Copies of this chain bind each other. A is one copy, B any other.
Amino acid sequence: MVDDPTSPDRPADRSLDDRKAAILRAVVKAYIETAQPVGSANVVEGGALGVSPATVRSEMTVLEREGYLTQPHTSAGRIPTQRGYRFFVDQLGPGELDAAQRRQVRGFFSHAHGELEEMLRSTTRMLARLTSTTAVVVGDVADAAVVRSVQLVGLSARTCLLVVVLSSGTVLKRSIERADPIDDDVLASAAALLTAGLRDKRPSKALAVGLSGDPLVDSIVADALDAIAHTVAESGHLVHIEGASNMAEAFDAASTLHAVLGLLEQQMAVVSLIEDVLDRGLTVAIGSETGLAPLSECSLVVAPYRVDGERAGTIGVLGPTRMNYEETLAAVAVVSNRLSRLLSEGERS
A interface list, Cβ under 8 A from B = 115, 148-149, 151, 153-156, 158-159, 161, 163, 165, 167-169, 171, 173-175, 242-249, 252, 254-255, 257-258, 260-262, 264-265, 349
Q: In whole Å, how far is A349's beta carbon from the nearest beta carbon of chain B? A: 7
With a cutoff of 8 Å between Cβ atoms, the chain B residues found around residue A175 in the complex are: 115, 169
With a cutoff of 8 Å between Cβ atoms, the chain B residues found around residue A159 in the complex are: 169
- Is B242 a contact of A265 with CB atoms below 8 Å? yes
- Is B245 a contact of A265 with CB atoms below 8 Å? yes
- Is B265 a contact of A243 with CB atoms below 8 Å? yes
With a cutoff of 8 Å between Cβ atoms, the chain B residues found around residue A153 in the complex are: 148-149, 165
With a cutoff of 8 Å between Cβ atoms, the chain B residues found around residue A349 in the complex are: 156, 158
Given A254-B248, A258-B248, A265-B243, A173:B174 Cβ within 8 A: no
Cβ contact of A115, chosen from B163, B174, B254, B261, cutoff 8 A: B174
Q: How far is the CA of A88 from the CA of B264 in the complex (A)?
A: 35
Q: How far is the CA of A148 from the CA of B153 in the complex (A)?
A: 7
Given A151-B149, A171-B173, A262:B249 Cβ within 8 A: no
- Is B155 a contact of A161 with CB atoms below 8 Å? no
Beyond the given A171-B171, A245-B262, please list 10 additional residue pairs across the A-B interface where CB-CB is below 8 A: A115-B175, A151-B163, A155-B168, A161-B165, A163-B163, A247-B261, A248-B254, A248-B255, A248-B257, A252-B254
Q: In whole Å, how far is A113's beta carbon from the nearest beta carbon of chain B? A: 10
- Is B161 a contact of A169 with CB atoms below 8 Å? yes
- Is A155 a contact of B169 with CB atoms below 8 Å? yes
22 contacts between A and B (CB under 8 A): A115-B175, A148-B154, A148-B155, A148-B161, A149-B153, A155-B167, A155-B168, A155-B169, A158-B349, A161-B171, A163-B163, A171-B173, A244-B244, A244-B265, A245-B257, A245-B258, A245-B261, A245-B264, A248-B248, A248-B258, A249-B258, A252-B254
Q: In whole Å, how far is A89's beta carbon from the nearest beta carbon of chain B? A: 27
Q: How far is the CA of A248 from the CA of B244 in the complex (A)?
A: 12
Q: How far is the CA of A169 from the CA of B177 in the complex (A)?
A: 12
With a cutoff of 8 Å between Cβ atoms, the chain B residues found around residue A254 in the complex are: 248-249, 252
With a cutoff of 8 Å between Cβ atoms, the chain B residues found around residue A163 in the complex are: 151, 163, 165, 171
Q: In whole Å, how far is A311's beta carbon from the nearest beta carbon of chain B? A: 21
Q: In whole Å, how far is A293's beta carbon from the nearest beta carbon of chain B? A: 15
Q: In whole Å, how far is A194's beta carbon from the nearest beta carbon of chain B? A: 14
Q: In whole Å, how far is A139's beta carbon from the nearest beta carbon of chain B? A: 15
